[in-house]
Structure 1
Amino acid sequence: MSKKFQRFVSVLLAAFALLVIFLPRPVVAADTHAFKAANGTIQVPNHPKRVVAGLYLGQVMALGVNVVGSTKLEMANPYLDQAKIKSMTDVGTPMSAEAVLKLKPDLIITNNESDTKKMEKIAPTVQIPYQKTQQFTSSMNYFAKLLNRPKQAKAFKKSFNTAAKKQIKRLNAAKISRKSTFGVYEMQSNKLYAYGSGFSRGAQAMLALGFKLSKPLQKVDSGAGFKEISVESLPKYQAHYMFVTTSSTKGQKDPVLVAMKKNPIWKSLAAVKANRVIELPFNKMYYYDPYATRAQLKIVTDALIKADK
């Protein structure tokens, strides 16, 4: 091969290499998916690595996604992995833009418009109304779609169903009828409330075990989901089993709650007479994420068996 031809081939190869370098490259689709949220259709990372979760900390953790920031109240959830909680930052309520920015999130999940407006300037932000997260199964499916984690959601639902079956066996062995109705009540800021199934307090666990809300409370459930009631109206909203909590820091020694128990109307309730009023700690019943609901299966079962003795 002549030297002239060799130089020609070398020049040709060099030119080809330059052509390859500078040719327009095909555009690779971004690693995101469209998610319809309260604040519009958002392009969400398929595999978020640094999430600020706000109110929905437990829902995100249940799907195995890394959370770098949340709120003090959600981080106090006793059912979450405390080792992981220690590595998170409290971003405040309302969320602090400065605190969130320092965390360099690739996804932010909010539950109100005020936080959303601030967070949208930092990273993709999804606003989720509380109503979307009130029922265990639909909430799991919703977050699985958001976070692209269908397998993890399926696994958690399986573990939840296994836990429910275990507690149902205990109830059957104790001969507790799951055809009985239940109600959820709470003393909050000196006011008494009756709740439906979507505001935690163990209601989702009770439904999973096969119990039903009493008919008047089913109406509350299909409406606003909660209702302020008077002690005088309690006979209308009573149930076979009545779960009572108080948000007071004094717990069951809350003076308003103590006064209610002395009221003749309270004493006349069938559940009170039969020792079927179940008082549970607020901090264990307030949370409603997947971890909390799964743990509450045993808590309410223990309480039902104890009340039935």
Structure 2
Amino acid sequence: MKKQITYLKLLGVMILAVLFLTGCGNGNANQSTTKTSTSTRVIDTSTGKVKIPTHPKRIVTNVYTGDVLSLGGHVVGATSIDFASPYITKSQKKSITNLGLTLKPEAVLKLKPDLVVTSNEADVKALKKIAPVVYIPYGTTGNIRQTATKFGQVLNRQKQAKSWITKFNRQSTDQAARLTKAGIKPSKTTVGIYDMQNGKLFVDGAKWGRGGQALVTGLGFKLPTSIQKIDQGAGFKQVSLESLKKYSADWLFFTNTTSGKSNNKQAIADLKSNPVWQSLPAVRAGHVVELPENKLYYFDPTAVYQQLKLVTDAMLKNESH
């Protein structure tokens, strides 16, 4: 009888031990899973400190789609202007929902994002209950190398950012060498960037799109003093035909941006027939490059990288004529 009682006590102790060990094992597994799935970090943004996923998996973007994709971030929803970029591949677009002109809360909610990156401050209040929102004011990321570094920090993809910068520097050197071989020395050559929008002529700096980052930051071309002032200010300026000589450069890059094509066609025809335009040294030398607006509009890392060869090819083509 004593043996039986002793046996039962021993069996009970063994069962309790097994249950205890099993419980500990499950507790550690659950703790590990929770830690992995909810791992976060805090970053500084224009609206203060924001807690975001350590490795965001489902990102919704407004303006910065190309920047996120350039570093391998997974975008699940984007605004229509971003979605229209020719630098986003068909395979990338298959996994991205076109959200239209703005980030509507109900549409964003359906995508179950774990991070929103936007240039619109109003999105912070509207979407912060859905997912953490990183607000980056338009035009505040710096030149393209600084932009890549910035998004590397936001996405926790610093290695990818450094790798992209190395690739960009190599491509910049290669394309600049092609130009130099053809007698175009970027460091001693000025460029002007002009854009016709709804019948109005603008001069752009190198901060925005229109190829400015590729031309100046990448290839090393210079801006004339008059355009440098625009670049250091608002970044663009509407100008009159009569004042064009003030913004003249060795090479002119011209794009057509408008919502009313017929109006712009006439405005462009008027521009090209104007004696002031025809008197510009770059026009007389045939150093005017016209490229599709959508190819130069975007200025995320992938776009700028591809624009290096695009603008180089265009300049060499003009020079050979």
Please state which band the TM-score falls in when normalised by the shorter chain: over 0.9
2:62 matches 1:59: no
* Residue matched to 1:33: 41
Partner deviation per Cα, 1:246-270 (whole Å, 9 max, x = no partner): 1036499721111011111111211
CA apart distance, 1:69: 0.5
Equivalent residue for 1:82?
90
Could you tell me how far 1:227 is from its partner in structure 2?
A: 1.2
Structure-2 residue corresponding to 1:221 = 231
Alignment of 1:84-99 (within 5 A): 84-99=92-107
Per-residue deviation, 1:13:
4.5
Larger mean Cα displacement after TM superposition, 163-172 or 96-105 = 163-172
Aligned to 1:7: 8
- The match for 2:116 is 108
Please, which runs of 5 or more residues in structure 2 have no aligned partner? Answer: none
Partner of 1:133: 141
C-alpha separation in 1, matches of 2:300 and 2:7: 71
CA contact (8 A) 2:45 2:134 kept: yes
The alignment yields a C-alpha RMSD, in angstroms, of: 2.4
Structure 1 residue identity aligned to 2:292: P
Give the residue type in structure 1 aligned to 2:9.
Answer: F
Superimposed CA distance per residue, residues 202-246 of structure 1 (whole angstroms, 9 cap, x where no aligned partner)? 111112111111111111111111111111111111111111111
Residue 239 of structure 1, aligned match among 246, 249, 267: 249
Name which of 201, 212, 215 aligns with 2:210.
201
With normalisation by structure 1, the TM-score equals 0.92
Counterpart code for 1:55: V
Question: Is contact 2:197–2:264 with CA below 8 Å preserved after alignment?
Answer: no
Structure 1 residues 84, 155: CA separation in 2 closer, same or farther (over 3 Å shift)? same
Report what 2:291 is aligned to. 280
Tell me the number of residue pairs that the alignment of Structure 1 and Structure 2 aligns: 309
> Aligned partners of 1:104 and 1:13: how far apart in 2?
46
SS in 1 for 2:140: helix
Structure-2 residue corresponding to 1:263: 274
Aligned-residue offset at 1:295:
0.9
C-alpha separation between the residues in 1 aligned to 2:125 and 2:207? Answer: 27
Q: Is the CA contact (8 Å cut-off) linking 2:189 and 2:222 kept in structure 1?
A: yes
- Greater fraction helix: 2
Superposition deviation, residue 14 in structure 1 = 4.6
Contact 1:246 1:252 in 2 (8 A): no
Could you tell me how far apart the structure 2 residues matched to 1:10 and 1:108 are? 56
Q: Which residue of 2 aligns with 1:180?
A: 189
Q: Deviations over 1:57-81 (max 9, x none)?
A: 1111111111111012111111112
Offset of 1:3 from its aligned partner? 3.4
* Structure 1 residue 18, shift from structure 2 partner: 6.1
CA distance in 2, matches of 1:113, 1:276: 41
The structural deviation recorded for 1:146 is 0.5
Give the AA of the match of 2:234. Answer: A
Where 1:254 maps in the other structure, the secondary structure is helix
Q: Percent identity?
A: 42
Match of 2:307 in 1: 296
- Could you tell me how far apart the structure 1 residues matched to 2:40 and 2:268 are? 51
Q: In 1, Cα distance between the equivalents of 2:294 and 2:142?
A: 18
Taking the aligned partners of 2:35 and 2:123, their CA distance within structure 1 comes to 32
| TM-superposed deviation, 1:134 | 4.7
Is the 2:62–2:102 Cα contact (8 Å) retained in structure 1?
A: no
